[in-house]
Structure 1
Amino acid sequence: MKYIINKHPLAIRWFHWLNFPLLAVMIWSGLLIYWAYDPYAIKMFGATVIKFFPEWFYQKYHIKRRLAEGMAFHFVFMWLFAVNGFLYVLYTIISGEWRHLLPQKHSWRDAWLVLLHDLHVRKTVPPHNKYNAAQRIAYTAVVVMGLGSLLTGLAIYKPVQFNWLTFICGGYRTARLIHFVLTIGYCLFFIIHIVQVALAGWQNFISMIRGFEVKDRAAVESVTAKGGSDER
């Protein structure tokens, strides 16, 4: 016997799916800006191990000599990205969805157990409600990262007008480095998010489109009996 579980309100789905193309354009246009001055690299014993980014990368994706284009897209879409993020946070506060998203007292411990479960080291995942501990930490972190990107972005966009903000961020160079590191963080979050969605299954993915998930009662009772949860 199958039954329906309502999972994601319409507003959450809109904010989620709007954020994907907005962030994609921000990263792409940011790369166009970064080419104008690309000093970042990981070095060991004076030798460059990783260069952000190698010459072949710029050639392959035709990134060179497009600074003005990158700035134009970046400074337009950053406001759309910021507004979408602000409305998302505002909605979670008003609707009470924040209760499902904020990490709890034992979230860090349980997140480790979730990781062991995903790696098939542990058989059961810690009991959870709408989101597990790892998801709570990740989704809260990405909101904080979004705020960090906005503030450091303004600090390097208008370092004179927002000189106080640039100072708080540690100066222009530090603000630019933080901005860059946060972008790498978004890319890592996206990869981990896709892996988590794949592990959770098709029903979990489709629920973010239609808002509900169809469950098999017998399968849910079997998972619950083993100490797991009927939601991901």
Structure 2
Amino acid sequence: MKQIKEKHSLAMRWCHWVNFPVLTIMIWSGMLIYWGDDEYKFTLFGHTFFKFFPDWFNTFFNIPRRLSEGMAWHFLFMWFFILNGIFYVAYTLISGEWRELAPQKKSFKEAWLVLLHDLHIRKMAPPQNKYNAAQRIAYTAIIIMGIGSAITGVAIYKPVQFYYLVWLCGGYHFARIIHFVLTLGYVFFFVIHIVQVFLAGWKNFSSAITGFEVVETKPAPIIEKKHDEEKS
């Protein structure tokens, strides 16, 4: 027997689908800004193994000499990013959705089992409610990363006016490093998240759009009533 079940609220879906293009624009515009001072690279014993980002990469994505354009886009969409994040956190706290998202004591152990199941090494997946253990950890980490990006971003943008945020981040240079690492973390999360969507199938993806999913339920047992042997 099939039954329609609500899975994601309108507010959760709204924040999810708004955040995706906003964060994509933030990453893209951030790369245009980073081109102006691309100092990060992997160097060992005086030899540079990798530079963020190679010249061929910048040329392919048409990044060079677009610093002012990147700043304009970045500083505009940061407000959408921050406001959407505030609304999302406020909603989860007020509605009680945080209980489904916050990791539990057993989440870190079960997250490993979820990974083994996704890699088809383990047959049985650990029991879950709305979100599994790996999702709880990942979605909570994204919230913390978003807060970190907002704090470090403001510290980099206005280091004099918000000197206390610069101090909190360990200085201007370290705030920029954190901001850069968090951006790489978003890209990594995007890749894993999209792969997980493909593995989960269309049913899981459609529920993130409509908010509902069709589930199979067992029919309720039929209780037979006793009848008189003789019918009038």
TM over 0.5: yes
Q: Deviations over 1:123-167 (max 9, x none)?
A: 011101000000000000000000000000011100100111101
In the alignment, is residue 116 of structure 1 matched against residue 116 of structure 2? yes
For this pair of structures, how many residues does the alignment match?
218
Report the 3-state secondary structure (helix = DSSP H, G, I; strand = E; otherwise coil) of the residue aligned with 2:65. coil
Counterpart residue type for residue 24 of structure 2: A
The TM-score normalised by the length of structure 1 is 0.92
State the structure with more CA Rg.
2
| Correspondence for 1:87 | 87
RMSD over equivalenced CA pairs, Å: 1.0
d(CA) in 1 for partners of 2:50, 2:107:
33
d(CA) in 2 for partners of 1:108, 1:160:
40
For structure 1, which runs of at least 5 residues remain unmatched after alignment?
Answer: 219-232
Shift of 1:45: 3.1
| Correspondence for 2:223 | none
d(CA) in 1 for partners of 2:154, 2:173:
13
d(CA) in 2 for partners of 1:51, 1:5:
49
d(CA) in 1 for partners of 2:24, 2:14:
16
d(CA) in 2 for partners of 1:191, 1:8:
22
| Correspondence for 1:156 | 156
Report the 3-state secondary structure (helix = DSSP H, G, I; strand = E; otherwise coil) of the residue aligned with 1:125. coil
In the alignment, is residue 65 of structure 1 matched against residue 70 of structure 2? no
| Correspondence for 1:230 | none
d(CA) in 2 for partners of 1:43, 1:115:
32
Shift of 1:195: 1.4
Q: Deviations over 1:30-70 (max 9, x none)?
A: 00000000011122333222211000111111111111111
Shift of 1:20: 0.4
| Correspondence for 1:189 | 189
| Correspondence for 2:10 | 10
The runs of at least 4 consecutive aligned structure 1 residues that moved more than 6 Å come to: none
| Correspondence for 1:50 | 50
Shift of 1:191: 0.7
For structure 2, which runs of at least 5 residues remain unmatched after alignment?
Answer: 219-232
Counterpart residue type for residue 165 of structure 1: L
d(CA) in 1 for partners of 2:190, 2:209:
18
Q: How does 1:196-215 map to 2 (within 5 A)?
A: 196-215=196-215
Q: Deviations over 1:65-92 (max 9, x none)?
A: 1111111110110011000000000000
